[in-house]
């Protein structure tokens, strides 16, 4: 396992990553030569090894590690699978190819010798090997030339260069109403952020709200870049938000439904997710602000009649969030407590109750002007 600082990690070249894989493999080969049970070590993940770093304000992974030994009945197959994934990604890096995580699954899937057993029975098996590998060599899958399914849209006056595709240069303002479909691979060596002419970046939970704002000409009027996540933000989308924020020093405002699900979308963009706590440095934007929807909005804008009852799952989730260290501030504690007290939720589109253009003409500009955010 390799531990490094964020800066060097981000700039690692495919060659360097390939070298890391070779080093790890050589270590294993040497163990085998020395007649030692070969072991693959990676960072332990999950709640028990996730910490909230109060200084950097992001979720980070602790020091706990986990091992997979070949000579362990329960580990042997996983050990083999990890070696296979390692070799395949090493190949991608050498041959300058990229693949989706579903493609690598199919590339590696076959029957084992004369048995009836497959190398991989389900994609979840190769997926977890990929995560193991990312954590073991301390990089992200994109650097291993792998990517998940893309999701999310970019719109506004931002110029990008696709270095892997004839250095195509394009402005997300000139791609029609649909904007640019955010790719899953957004490393600087592939996509360059050339220029941004905007005052802030607005991240929107739903596609429908994104479409409303495009139709209302919101981006141009307010000098805003729009990104819709379509629910929980994909890695590529998070990476893009992170890069626009850090490279272009653009403030990030997040606009979601006023319910635990929406709030957690914000939380992941701001301080990272538990599953990818190790990569928070690549993905999180601790300076992001929450614009809405809030329960205060309900009062301020008179939306009481368009709220909905919280479901049991919502209540449970809200209670959990109240315990998370990264929600321990006045603003969020009050919001969550109020939600649990009133047991109501409010969707972004409920604003249409006022008028279709209300969100673009009044709600967002007013809140941004007043800096009426939750931290």
Query: Which CB sits closer to another protein, 34 or 249?
Result: 34
Angle between helices 235-248 and 260-271 (to 10 degrees): 50
DSSP one-letter code for 183: P
CA–CA separation, 118 and 110 (whole Å): 5
CA–CA separation, 294 and 27 (whole Å): 53
CA–CA separation, 256 and 209 (whole Å): 9
Query: Rounded to the nearest whole angstrom, what is the least distance from the CB of residue 76 to another protein in the complex?
Result: 5
CA–CA separation, 162 and 255 (whole Å): 28
Query: Which CB sits closer to another protein, 112 or 275?
Result: 112
Query: Rounded to the nearest whole angstrom, what is the least distance from the CB of residue 108 to another protein in the complex?
Result: 9
Q: Which of 137, 140, 93 is nearest to 282 (CA)?
A: 140
Query: Rounded to the nearest whole angstrom, what is the least distance from the CB of residue 81 to another protein in the complex?
Result: 8
Mark whether 210 is an active-site residue.
no
- Residue identified by tokens 């495009």 is 214
CA–CA separation, 104 and 120 (whole Å): 11
Query: Which CB sits closer to another protein, 1 or 112?
Result: 112
Find out whether the peptide bond into 182 is cis, omega within 30 degrees of 0.
Answer: no
Query: Which CB sits closer to another protein, 119 or 357?
Result: 119
Kindly give the pairing relationship between strand 191-196 and strand 158-162.
Answer: antiparallel
Query: Which CB sits closer to another protein, 84 or 201?
Result: 84
CA–CA separation, 22 and 86 (whole Å): 9
Query: Rounded to the nearest whole angstrom, what is the least distance from the CB of residue 35 to another protein in the complex?
Result: 6
| Annotated active-site residue in 92, 106, 200, 264 | 106
Query: Rounded to the nearest whole angstrom, what is the least distance from the CB of residue 164 to another protein in the complex?
Result: 24
* Sequence-separated (6 or more) residues with CB below 8 Å from residue 164: 190
CA-only gyration radius of the chain, Å: 23
Query: Rounded to the nearest whole angstrom, what is the least distance from the CB of residue 45 to another protein in the complex?
Result: 23
Q: Which DSSP string do the residues of 293-356 spell out, in sequence order?
A: --HHHHHHTT-GGG-EEPPHHHHHHHHHHHHSGGG-SHHHHHHHHHHHHHTEEB-GGGGGGT-T
User: For residues 144 and 93, is the Cβ–Cβ distance under 8 A?
Assistant: yes
**238: which strand partners?**
none
Q: Which residues bind another protein (CB under 8 A)?
A: 21-22, 25-26, 28-29, 32-33, 35, 37-38, 70-71, 73, 76-77, 79-80, 83-84, 86-87, 90-91, 112-113, 115, 117, 119
Query: Rounded to the nearest whole angstrom, what is the least distance from the CB of residue 79 to another protein in the complex?
Result: 7
DSSP one-letter code for 62: -
User: By three-state DSSP, how is residue 225 classified?
Assistant: strand
Query: Which CB sits closer to another protein, 22 or 304?
Result: 22
Query: Which CB sits closer to another protein, 80 or 340?
Result: 80
Active site (catalytic) residues:
106
């Amino acid at each position: 396992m390799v531990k490094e600082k964020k800066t060097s990690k981000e700039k690692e070249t495919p060659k360097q990553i390939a070298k890391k894989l070779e080093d790890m493999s050589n270590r294993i080969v040497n163990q085998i030569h020395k007649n030692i049970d070969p072991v693959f070590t990676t960072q332990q993940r999950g709640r028990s090894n996730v910490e909230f770093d109060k200084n950097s304000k992001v979720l980070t992974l602790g020091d706990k590690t986990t091992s997979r030994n070949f000579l362990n009945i329960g580990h042997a197959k996983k050990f083999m699978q990890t070696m296979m994934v390692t070799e395949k990604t090493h190949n991608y890096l050498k041959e300058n190819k990229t693949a989706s995580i579903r493609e690598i699954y199919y590339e590696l899937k076959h029957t084992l010798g004369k048995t009836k057993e497959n190398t991989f029975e389900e994609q979840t098996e190769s997926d977890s090997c990929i995560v193991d590998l990312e954590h073991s060599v301390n990089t992200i899958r994109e650097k291993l030339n792998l990517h998940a399914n893309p999701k999310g849209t970019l719109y506004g006056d931002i110029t990008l260069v696709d270095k892997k595709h004839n250095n195509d240069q394009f402005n997300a303002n000139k791609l029609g109403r649909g904007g640019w479909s955010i790719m899953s691979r957004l490393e600087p060596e592939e996509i360059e952020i050339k220029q941004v002419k905007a005052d802030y970046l607005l991240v929107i939970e739903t596609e429908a709200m994104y479409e409303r704002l495009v139709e209302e000409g919101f981006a141009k009027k307010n000098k805003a870049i729009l990104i819709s996540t379509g629910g929980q933000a994909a890695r590529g989308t998070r990476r893009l938000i992170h890069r626009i924020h850090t490279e272009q020093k653009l403030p990030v405002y997040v606009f979601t439904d006023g319910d635990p699900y929406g709030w957690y979308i914000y939380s992941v963009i701001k301080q990272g997710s538990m599953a990818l706590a190790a990569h928070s440095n690549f993905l999180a934007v601790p300076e992001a602000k929450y614009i809405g929807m809030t329960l205060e909005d309900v009062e301020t804008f008179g939306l009481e009649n368009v709220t909905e009852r919280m479901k049991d799952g919502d209540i449970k989730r809200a209670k959990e969030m109240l315990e998370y260290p990264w929600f321990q501030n006045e603003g969020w504690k009050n919001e969550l407590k109020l939600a649990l007290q009133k047991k109501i939720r409010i969707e972004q589109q409920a604003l249409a109750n006022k008028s279709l253009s209300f969100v673009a003409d009044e709600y967002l500009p007013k809140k941004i002007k007043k800096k009426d955010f939750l931290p």
